[in-house]
A and B are shown apart, each in its own frame.
Chain A
Amino acid sequence: MTPAVEVPVERNYLDAETGIKSWLLTLDHKRIGLLYVASVTVLFFIGGFFALLMRLQLLEPYGWLVGPQIYNKLFTMHGIIMVWFFLIPSIPNTLGNFFIPMMIGAKDVAFPKLNLLSWYIFNLAAFVALYSMIRGGVDTGWTFYTPFSTGFSTTYVSTAALGVFISGFSSILTGLNFIVTIHRMRAPGLTWFRLPLFIWSHYATSIILVLATPVLAITLLMVMVERIFRVGIYDPALGGDPVLFQHMFWFYSHPAVYIMVLPAMAVISELVPTFSRKPLFGYKFVAFASIAIAAIGFLVWGHHMFVAGQSMYSALAFSFLSYLVAVPSAIKVFNWSATMYKGSISWDTPMLYAIGFIGLFTVGGMTGLFLAALGIDVHVTDTYFVIAHFHYIMVGGTVMGYLGGMHYFWPKITGKLYWEPLAKLSALIVFLGFNLTFFPQFILGYMGMPRRYAAYAPEFHMLNVLSTAGASILGVGYVLPLLYLTWSWRYGKPAGPNPWRATGLEWQTPSPPPRENFEETPVVTRGPYDFGGLREELRLG
């Protein structure tokens, strides 16, 4: 027997238990966050693969790769996977799950078992959705518009809708868990206005999750009932009203855009102060802007229906409210910019993503104003202009926020540093690839190229080639982080507790954190971005 050597074992959450069972039955919010990272990463690349095939198809004006039927299925599956199985859970269920309890000084979320349950439900939902695709796919578009989806489509609509329906329960459980956690689990001294803006933004997200998701559930349930029992809720032939479907669908799906983008804003609100070494400018404005976005976001769904035969007066009201919801978003952009102004900015990878986010989100938001204007909307409805607009929000916004957050929190999650030069390079590749993919689509849409067609007129050829070229560059930019982040988990240099010299509670504990997050419950005595206070503490401690 070798003599026992005294090795101090740091019992962090990764080493506390080992084995596959310790992961699949874990109640630790940090591990559940990582389980979600694994799930959404797989789904992101599946959804991305469909996008790649679409872009390849559009290399030639009349298409060359697949027929129109297959193309319809490609854009539908790309949409369903990306919206419900990547974008909605991307930041809240991964980084939110991991960091909300840590930022508020709690040991875990309020309901750890529900948290794990939500991951299993999510995977079941993804499995059902993928099953519908393996069996032959769906061709309705991710919006499931009636009466095509209920009366005409011969594809696996009910199965796909069932997948989305099930995923809703996972969303609801997560939202419920976050709201209760943020209300009831805060550390002593952590008042509402000492909360990091990451928390405020996730709080607003959670409100939307619990209030909007049930409406989607019932809407899709009725689609399934209509298809399976051959009855008419939305079918005009049977006295139903297809526009009712659109109202109910967008009552969820517009707020869902904020489910996707508010968590990205949450990440940006952490990155900008940390890498500018300044407290966030206008903290309370940004905090309340999140709540305002959630509240007004529930009142604008009609802007998706300007050409669906709604009355002129409701169109006017929805147009006005859509302008109004841009105000709190603009407040955030101004306040991030004002925080950077005269700050001592360091150009680390997360900050590159943050700046990318601010630029791309602004473009996406401004073109959203074009679409909120009734006259312009009629001109560009169902064209690539709309596609470009919402990809600037969802990919330029949410995915940039997700990657920025991943790079920022990676040292805390794994305790390791990634290789900075390569990370910077791939941030640049993502930014360039993204713009090359989607900027030409604004022009294409303005010129009149309709969305969801497998072929197009020859005069759009040049811009489509550019877009496809951009997509392949973007693909490289997404694969690189997957490789070097995974590599760094094993071979990276140790990060230490606070590599970015950030102020949040999550940085005041070791990396990777212990199972119960903090050795003892922290007592909070200062605001969230108090760099002076942090310097003082580091000097004394």
Chain B
Amino acid sequence: MADPTALLLREQYNNPVQQRESSTFGMWIFIMTEVMLFGGLFLAFTVYRMKFPESFIVGSGDMSITLGAINTAVLIGSSFTMALAVFSAETGNRRMLSIFLLATMFLGLVFLGIKFTEYYQHYQEHRAPGIWFDYRGPNPGQVEMFFLLYFLMTGLHAVHMFVGEGILTAMLIRNRAGSFSAEYHTPVELTGLYWHFVDIIWVFLFAIFYVEGLHLHKL
């Protein structure tokens, strides 16, 4: 019988080890580029947070800490199910792999649902920047800057979540087709790396946008 892993060896590689190491290494480099991408936004946040400390705390007071905390828990939970999915792939348990992929997708969707509920609330409270923004307190421009960065950074994060949902769907389809085994499951591992990275970004976003104005929060 033919070696099942040999079938999946792309022609530019000499052996499966080289193929797996290349893919994993490529994924880490991709994550580095993502760190630099978000890094630019974190820099902008830091600059304006230093410039307008009071207004940023006021802006943070308009966040719903309850929804934010639930979302953080949901995402960390999805990281856990993702880790279990990778473990199932490593042990060649295809049924459990499908289940955990589905669980991760479900938690991701819960997160996005809550996130867009929050966006809608901000919109109704006239906190969406641009023509929709209306704030009657002092320094409206500075508060708008807070919300602009909030929408940009959490929005970019949400885009990454949507991409993640797409990748998880692809993994699910490939698993149903029987592509993965204990010998070959690199794509699942890489999906895990990506998903954990996106979760970690959220933890930072939660800290800078929600926790700061905690004492002002309406719970």
Residues of chain A touching chain B, judged by Cβ–Cβ distance below 8 Å, are: 106-112, 172, 176-177, 179-180, 183-185, 210-215, 217-219, 222, 225, 229-233, 238-241, 244, 248, 516, 521
**Measured CA separation A199–B12 after assembly (Å):** 19
Residues of chain B touching chain A, judged by Cβ–Cβ distance below 8 Å, are: 10-14, 18, 21-22, 25-26, 29-30, 32-34, 36-41, 43-44, 47-48, 51-52, 129-131, 139, 141-142, 144-145, 148, 152
Q: Which residue of A lies closest to B26 (CB)?
A: A180
Known: A109-B12, A211-B33, A239-B52; 16 extra A-B contacts, CB below 8 A, are A108-B12, A176-B33, A184-B21, A185-B13, A211-B32, A214-B34, A215-B37, A222-B152, A229-B129, A230-B131, A231-B144, A233-B148, A238-B141, A240-B145, A244-B47, A248-B44
Question: In the complex, what residues of B have CB within 8 A of residue A215's CB?
Answer: 36-37, 39-40
**Measured CA separation A218–B39 after assembly (Å):** 9
Closest 8 pairs between A and B when the two form their complex, measured CB to CB: A218-B40, A108-B12, A214-B37, A214-B36, A239-B141, A229-B130, A184-B22, A110-B22
Given A185-B18, A214-B33, A214-B34, CB of A231 within 8 Å of CB of B129? yes
Question: In the complex, what residues of B have CB within 8 A of residue A240's CB?
Answer: 145
Is there an interface contact between B40 and A110, defined as CB atoms closer than 8 Å? no
Question: In the complex, what residues of A have CB within 8 A of residue B44's CB?
Answer: 222, 233, 244, 248
Is there an interface contact between B29 and A180, defined as CB atoms closer than 8 Å? yes
Question: In the complex, what residues of B have CB within 8 A of residue A222's CB?
Answer: 40, 44, 152
**Measured CA separation A455–B13 after assembly (Å):** 58
* A137 → chain B closest CB, angstroms: 27
* B135 → chain A closest CB, angstroms: 13
Question: In the complex, what residues of A have CB within 8 A of residue B21's CB?
Answer: 184
Is there an interface contact between A211 and B22, defined as CB atoms closer than 8 Å? no
Majority SS at the chain A contact face: helix
Is there an interface contact between A230 and B130, defined as CB atoms closer than 8 Å? yes
Residue of A110, A219, A239, A521 touching B26 (CB-CB under 8 A): A110
**Measured CA separation A108–B152 after assembly (Å):** 39
Q: Which residue of B lies closest to A240 (CB)?
A: B145
Is there an interface contact between A218 and B37, defined as CB atoms closer than 8 Å? yes
**Measured CA separation A185–B22 after assembly (Å):** 8
**Measured CA separation A179–B41 after assembly (Å):** 26
Question: In the complex, what residues of A have CB within 8 A of residue B12's CB?
Answer: 106-110, 112, 185
**Measured CA separation A112–B11 after assembly (Å):** 10
Q: Which residue of A lies closest to B32 (CB)?
A: A210
Question: In the complex, what residues of A have CB within 8 A of residue B33's CB?
Answer: 172, 176, 210-211, 213-214
Is there an interface contact between B26 and A176, defined as CB atoms closer than 8 Å? yes
* A474 → chain B closest CB, angstroms: 37
**Measured CA separation A185–B12 after assembly (Å):** 9
**Measured CA separation A240–B142 after assembly (Å):** 9
A-B contact pairs, 11 of them (CB 8 A): A172-B33, A176-B30, A184-B18, A184-B22, A211-B36, A214-B40, A215-B40, A231-B129, A239-B141, A241-B48, A248-B43
**Measured CA separation A111–B44 after assembly (Å):** 34
**Measured CA separation A243–B145 after assembly (Å):** 16
**Measured CA separation A232–B32 after assembly (Å):** 28
Question: In the complex, what residues of B have CB within 8 A of residue A211's CB?
Answer: 32-33, 36
